[in-house]
Amino acid sequence: MTAEVVRALLAEVCGSQDLRRLMADGGTYDEKRWAKLGELGLAGVLVPEECGGLGLSAADFVQVAEACGYHCLPEPLVENVGIAIPLLAAFADRPGVASDLERALSGEIAVAVSHPVNPFVPNADTASVALVSRHDGLHLVALSREMLTMQPSADPFRRLHSLAFAPEAATRLASPEEAFGPLRQALDRGALFTAAQLLGMAQACVDLSVAYAKERQQFGRPIGSYQAIKHHLATVQVKIEFARPVLYAAAAEMSHDDLHSRARVSQAKLAAAEAAELAAHTAIQVHGAMGYSWEVDVHLYLKRIVALTQAWGIPSFHRERVAARVFHAPLGPEHTFAREAGRG
């Protein structure tokens, strides 16, 4: 139901005309849209109840992330709600965290994350504080413009920054050992919800192509009536339908935080990225020469797909995590549903 509410709101306030207007102004952030999203009360969905949140799980949020991908949402709802705030809440008992967590849960501020798996920090220019991983542990830093250096990004709506600050005892939240578990969980959430966005964008590319194929005519017939177009789009849709249960299974298993659950998350990221890449390329092909033009919305999705495929672990990183499961744990049909059989 929450996902349906998010879908309906984004359909109203995050259409291609809204994105193009924002892009024409050189912006990446619509305050009115962000405020409306904040009114849905999503900020604490993955935060434990004892910390002021709703205490829900990744399985409860994954469809929201998918909806954000489908509508190519520029604002960092997924990064803030799905990754940064839960990581901040993991250290709610540390001095100075409670006030920032309360402000984040109320929607007053956004939180950014500098994680070792990502070379740059996304959306740092719209955040007030950042959780920054360094060799000496995890730091909570109040952000200022002087700290940020803009870096190239494939997606104009997803600004990347390098972050320069002087680590101090006052900013240090946790030692490397204390931060290891929460950072690993943040990585899994980042990869999972990025996969959900990619899957949403893949479906959007198919829907854009289907609508165009019904309208565009050649030789007196809609191009969608030709088998070549049908087969291309059907191939993509099959890819999406095979990736979706992988994504949902990973969301359901993620709380186990073990070798199996991490492999499931990585498999979901790989499957969703492959589906999204194929969907974007097929959409361009279906649109023909128009697919390469600025006027068609496919480029908005293609740029985001390129950016997110490299975020929260590049493909080779996730293949290595899947390989760790394949080579270091039992295989075979009797192990497919190992947890249900009580084998861990």
CATH code (residue 293)? 1.20.140.10
Q: Quick check: pTM over 0.85?
A: yes
The DSSP line for 130-143 is EEEEETTEEEEEE-
CA distance 315 to 1: 32
> With contact defined as beta carbons under 8 Å apart, do 267 and 250 qualify?
yes
Asked whether residue 82 is domain-assigned, the answer is: no
Q: What percent of the chain has pLDDT over 90?
A: 80
Asked whether residue 186 is domain-assigned, the answer is: no
Q: Where are the beta strands (DSSP E) in 120-188?
A: 121-122, 129-134, 137-142, 148-151, 160-163, 172-174
Q: What is the pLDDT of residues 45-61, one digit of tens each?
A: 999 999 999 999 999 99
Q: What is the pLDDT of residues 216-261, one digit of tens each?
A: 777 778 777 778 889 999 999 999 999 999 999 999 999 999 999 9
Q: What is the pLDDT of residues 293-304, one digit of tens each?
A: 888 899 999 999
Asked whether residue 327 is domain-assigned, the answer is: yes
Asked whether residue 297 is domain-assigned, the answer is: yes
Into how many domains does the chain fold? Answer: 1
Distances (CA, A) of 63 to 113, 126, 291: 22, 24, 28
Which pLDDT band, with edges at 50, 70 and 90, does 341 fall under?
very low
Asked whether residue 21 is domain-assigned, the answer is: no
What residues make up the domain containing 219? 191-335
Asked whether residue 95 is domain-assigned, the answer is: no
Residue 267, CA atoms < 13 Å, CB-side half-sphere: 23
Asked whether residue 126 is domain-assigned, the answer is: no
pLDDT at 344 (0 to 100): 44
Q: What is the mean pLDDT of residues 284-291?
A: 87
- Which residues are 246's β-sheet partners? none
Q: What is the pLDDT of residues 178-199, one digit of tens each?
A: 999 999 999 999 999 999 999 9
Cβ-Cβ contacts under 8 Å for 257 (sequence gap 6 or more): 181, 184, 185, 188
More confident residue, 338 or 117: 117
CB atoms within 10 A of CB 207: 14
Asked whether residue 312 is domain-assigned, the answer is: yes
